[in-house]
Amino acid sequence: MSEMGWETTDRVLKEERIFTPRPEEVAASNITAYIREKGMRDIEELYVWASDNFEEFWEDMASRLHWFRPWDNVLRWECPDARWFEGARCNIVYNCLDRYMDTPVRNKVAFYWEGENGARRIYSYSRLYDEVNRMASALVRMGVKKGDRVAVYLPRIPEQMVSMLAAARIGAVHTLIYSGLSEKALAERIQDAEAKLVITADGYFYRGNVVELKAVVDRAIRYCPSVERILVVRRTGNRVMMVTGRDVYMDEALALAERHQPCAEMEAEDPLFILYTSGTTGRPKGVVHVHGGYMVGVYATTKLVLDLKPEDVYWCTADPGWITGHSYVVYGPLLNGTTQLIYEGAVDYPDPARLYYNVDAYGVSVLYTAPTAVRALMHFGEAWPAKFSMGRVRLLGSVGEPINPEAWVWYRKAFGDRCPVMDTWWQTETGMHMITPLIPMPLKPGSAGRPFLGQRAEVVDAEGNPVSTGKGGYLVLRNPWPSMMRSIYGDRDKYESYWNRFPGKYFTGDAATVDGDGYFWIQGRVDDVIKKAGYRLGSMEIESALVSHEAVSEAAAIGLPDEVKGERIKAFVVLTQGVQGSDYLADRLRDHVRSTMGVIAVPDEIAFVDSLPKTRSGKIMRRLLKARELGQEVGDLSTLEE
């Protein structure tokens, strides 16, 4: 973290547009149905009730799922340790699959899968159930037991989801590692988790190339003595080295497996997965989530925020290697019996039509993607979406980092200028949406909305006192929630650090403001706050001002040391397609920021660049830009996209 004594950061960016929800979409929403079910007048009454009675709210959500044994206590909270649904026994996979097998959902499409090379597969819920059972049996035959860690290093192919569900079915703990990570990053994660088995593939297709995965695993496990077996999916057909007695092809293992593997009854607090997320420096940290509480949290938010209904076709473009993919590709949609699309490749390859084509071809009605993808599509202009009807799309979602107001508006317009945009704020550590709009709410571009039902969030100063409206400070969460992480694997001190800064409150590491309507505006990481001439400026606000200019598709702003001002602002700008950078344009952009935010936010320097450094999940790595400018060590780059 940066220094903890900085003054509050006022909101400088002025955004006054409000988009009122259409009455028909409000009336048809899941959240309205829930309001009626609870006998309440409107969403405001629901917010108050859920906040004042958050344990009762979460118990109500939990009661809609299957439990082998009910809980003795909804919550035992001894900060920073939570035990949700204490005494209950469950398995998240039973709720994703088994409970549908005697219902019509068994014949419903769970997901359409399309490979970058045009390969297609359709999985019904019953087919997915069968393959998960067989895979779970294969894992047992290979010696995997309850509590063992299984590393999954696979691309976005059906076997990725099957492997996760199979491990969880038998009570093993999966650690899914993004298939684009290097051998060093892979080895760090396998070694830290002490994984017993690695599931990988011969390779996969990405942007027209074959990415060889098995070779990466072979190099990585030289540093991982815990690995006993490697299971290999045949995806591309390229030749790989197979070590007798250690390596086996998945199809051969499945041929020997039983057709049914009993679903293990797990304690609600038993670990479900470890997911590694990089800090600003040092080794990645393994965030631990559990079966019971995580299941309830992602079930509720998928239903009430993303508003998924039986007739929907849903597409979240995230890779399950990140928390978005865990919560809102794998577990949340299956817990709600949803039909979804899973696509192997990049959404802009071989051209920007790919995303729009997929939406049209599969009749996608709910789309959930990252601001970086939206800005990339903005870069190519409005001609591409104009070629497609996308008439079924009714709801859009945004995830990963704050979305610029202009990108928010462009996103909505590109899909017919009618869809609500659910701009969700949450973290790997939270497991689920924490601050988000709900369909009945008026929407403000650039705002993440209000805390989700049952949650209380605050913006506080350095002493932990709530700041006044419009003043910036530290974003904290006050109530425990079911899907909160239970630990950082092997690092108790790191886990406690989230709660130590403001005792009894979870410190998110983000800066934010709250407006007079209770809407939260996330300004970015505290480390990204720029301190210029006594003012504290959120990097996101400066970037939003730049992106609101028609010539700019993406921007990143950092602060650099200045003897007079404390820090000066340097902006890195990616221009829209066909626009050329020049001194004249730089001056025009400065004038634009001046008129939008005021003179204090005007960049001292503007650099035109072809791209920005990002994590593979789409977040701009401002610390890397700053470190390079200052000639400093750049720290952990395992999640860098390029």
Q: Render pLDDT for 483-525 as a digit per residue (tens, 0 to 9).
A: 999 999 999 999 999 999 999 999 999 999 999 999 999 988 8
How far is Cα 355 from Cα 264, in angstroms, rounded to an integer?
39
Three-class SS of residue 342? strand
Mean of the per-residue pLDDT values for the chain?
91
Contact between 581 and 542 under an 8 Å Cβ cutoff? The reply is no
**Can you give the pLDDT at residue 353?**
93
Measured in residues, the chain has a length of: 642
Work out the average pLDDT over 276-300: 87
User: What element of type H or E holds 469?
Assistant: none
Q: What angle do CA 53, 57, 62 make, to 5 degrees?
A: 145
How far is Cα 27 from Cα 612, in angstroms, rounded to an integer?
42
Cis peptide before 225 (omega within 30 of 0): no
**Does residue 88 have a pLDDT over 80?**
yes
Q: Can you give the residue ranges of every domain in the chain?
A: 94-264, 534-630
Please check whether the two domains, 94-264 and 534-630, share a CATH topology.
Answer: no
**Can you give the pLDDT at residue 616?**
61
**Does residue 618 have a pLDDT over 80?**
no
**Can you give the pLDDT at residue 2?**
38
**Does residue 292 have a pLDDT over 70?**
yes
Identify the CATH assignment for 94-264 out of 2.60.40.10, 3.40.50.12780, 3.40.630.30, 3.40.50.150.
Answer: 3.40.50.12780
Three-class SS of residue 521? strand
Work out the average pLDDT over 69-76: 98
Number of Cβ atoms within 10 Å of the Cβ of 563: 6
Contact between 621 and 613 under an 8 Å Cβ cutoff? The reply is yes
Between 622 and 71, the more confident residue is 71
Using the structure block, give the residue that is written with the tokens 């995580």: 294
**Can you give the pLDDT at residue 640?**
53
Work out the average pLDDT over 375-384: 87
Identify the CATH assignment for 534-630 out of 3.30.499.10, 3.20.20.10, 3.30.420.40, 3.30.300.30.
Answer: 3.30.300.30
**Does residue 26 have a pLDDT over 80?**
yes
How far is Cα 627 from Cα 642, in angstroms, rounded to an integer?
17
pLDDT-derived band at 629 (thresholds 50, 70, 90) equals: confident
Q: In percent, how much of the chain has pLDDT > 70?
A: 93
pLDDT-derived band at 145 (thresholds 50, 70, 90) equals: very high
Work out the average pLDDT over 269-294: 87
**Does residue 7 have a pLDDT over 50?**
no
Between 613 and 433, the more confident residue is 433
Q: What is the pLDDT of residues 162-181, one digit of tens each?
A: 999 999 999 999 999 999 88
Residues 6+ apart with CB under 8 A from 348: 354, 355, 373, 376, 377, 380
Residues 6+ apart with CB under 8 A from 271: 147, 173, 288, 289, 290, 291, 486
Cα radius of gyration rounded to whole Å, the chain: 24
User: What element of type H or E holds 341?
Assistant: strand 339-343
How far is Cα 343 from Cα 34, in angstroms, rounded to an integer?
32
Q: Which of 62-66, 436-440, 636-640 shows the lowest mean pLDDT across its residues? A: 636-640
Work out the average pLDDT over 623-636: 74
Residue type, 456: R
- How many CA atoms does the CB half-sphere of 607 hold within 13 Å? 13
Work out the average pLDDT over 126-138: 98
List of E strands, 492-550? 506-514, 520-525, 530-532, 535-537
What is the pTM assigned to this prediction?
Answer: 0.87
Q: In percent, how much of the chain has pLDDT > 90?
A: 75
**Can you give the pLDDT at residue 156?**
95
Which sign does the torsion angle of CA 361, 366, 369, 373 carry? positive
Contact between 161 and 135 under an 8 Å Cβ cutoff? The reply is no
Work out the average pLDDT over 31-56: 98
**Does residue 137 have a pLDDT over 60?**
yes
**Does residue 595 have a pLDDT over 50?**
yes
Work out the average pLDDT over 202-223: 93
**Does residue 22 have a pLDDT over 50?**
yes
Burial of 550: CB neighbours in 10 Å, binned 0-12, 13-18, 19+: exposed
Work out the average pLDDT over 329-348: 96
**Can you give the pLDDT at residue 527?**
74
